[in-house]
Amino acid sequence: MRPLPIRVRSDENIRAGCYGVHLFNRKNGLNVLFDEARVSEEFWATAPRQISIALTNSCDLSCAFCYAPKSQASLKSSIVIGWLRELDANGCFGVGFGGGEPTLYRDFPLLCRYASTSTKLAVTFTTHAHRINDELAAKLKGNVHFIRISMDGVGQTYEEIRGRPFAALKSRLKTIRTLAPFGINYVVNARTLRDLDTAVELSAQMGAREFLLLPEQPVRDAKGIDPGTAQALRNWVWQYRGPIPLTISEASSDGMPACSPIPCETGLQAYAHIDATGILKASSYAHGGVLIGQGGVMRALGLLKSQHQEVDE
């Protein structure tokens, strides 16, 4: 008996790999893993499962722990569109736009619309949220599947770090929740750790779907999370019984009760980052990378994988 073909809807995407077959619906976030399926390696997806793209280094805030370079740089939207087509054709599930602040990028609504209507990529972006007014929300509506809001601390702590009223952020979230589901990105250091419980409660009240913990990384003058705070964060996570799910980056998951749904798909198969100068990196914090040239993003990915294999050996 011949197997029936799988019917895929416009908001669904299929990715094959070492794990079997992964079905993802970008509209409702449903993930289904058919791990009993066996697919020949020649049909495995070659692009990262998720890619983040820093459209610009520009930002109207100046947070001390921000990883974005302070040099002026922005990507051409026509080039980004070519990368999106290439990634989509090679099995990527989603693109996360960032910066700097992506809402400062002139063609931001255009790129979201292109990715949503001309590819199967899920569209997300990370923002401080203060520029999302009714006009921008109207341009983005229907073309964004998830939004990540940077919120480090609450009340006075937030205001001292971000230099913006915390009440203004909460007001913007009322607009954002009508635009797309959203989650909170929370940088954890000695200053923000004390606000964690309140931040989670407020996030749940405002309608957040998840709470992403980001232990501070060392950049420029910022030294990163100190060992004592890191241990206190681990203790807090182990005792957590809060109202919304916690998530954490793969690089920061040591000592955490984290699970990896696809353990054989890690590193550059799972995630990669493109900075605002067009350099493909293993993460936004990585120092080295490969400039994406005429050969496109997949050729650069092959070169970057080769570099990482040489280091591992």
CATH number at residue 250: 3.20.20.70
Strands 182-188 and 146-150: parallel
Residue 215 lies in a domain: yes
Residue 200 lies in a domain: yes
Residue 265 lies in a domain: yes
Residue 24 lies in a domain: no
pLDDT at 312: 58
First vs last C-alpha separation in the chain? 46
Q: DSSP letters of 260-313?
A: -SSTTS-GGGTEEEE-TTSEEESSTT-S--EE--TTHHHHHHHHHHHHHHHHH-
Cα radius of gyration rounded to whole Å, the chain: 19
Q: What is the pLDDT of residues 47-98, one digit of tens each?
A: 999 999 999 999 988 887 777 776 789 999 999 999 999 999 999 999 999 9
Q: What range does the domain containing 251 cover?
A: 47-276
pLDDT at 11: 85
Q: With H, G, I as helix, E, B as strand and everything else as coil, classify residue 70.
A: coil
Nearest to 84 by CA among 72, 97, 74, 73: 97
Residue 10 lies in a domain: no
pLDDT at 263: 84
pLDDT at 92: 98
pLDDT at 62: 81
Cβ-contact 303, 310 below 8 angstroms: no
Nearest to 141 by CA among 163, 105, 159, 117: 117
Residues 6+ apart with CB under 8 A from 159: 165, 166
Residue 105 lies in a domain: yes
Q: What is the pLDDT of residues 255-297, one digit of tens each?
A: 888 888 788 898 999 999 999 999 999 998 888 999 999 999 9
Residue 197 lies in a domain: yes
pTM of the model: 0.92
Q: What is the mean pLDDT of residues 8-13?
A: 77
Domain total in the chain: 1
Which residue type is seen at 138?
A
Residue linked to tokens 């722990």: 65
Buried b (16+ CB within 10 A) or exposed e, 162-173: bebebeebeebb
Q: How far is CA 36 from CA 18, 22, 33, 261, in A?
A: 11, 11, 9, 14
Residue 313 lies in a domain: no
Q: What is the pLDDT of residues 160-197, one digit of tens each?
A: 999 999 999 999 999 999 999 999 999 999 999 999 99
- Does the pLDDT value for residue 2 go beyond 50? no
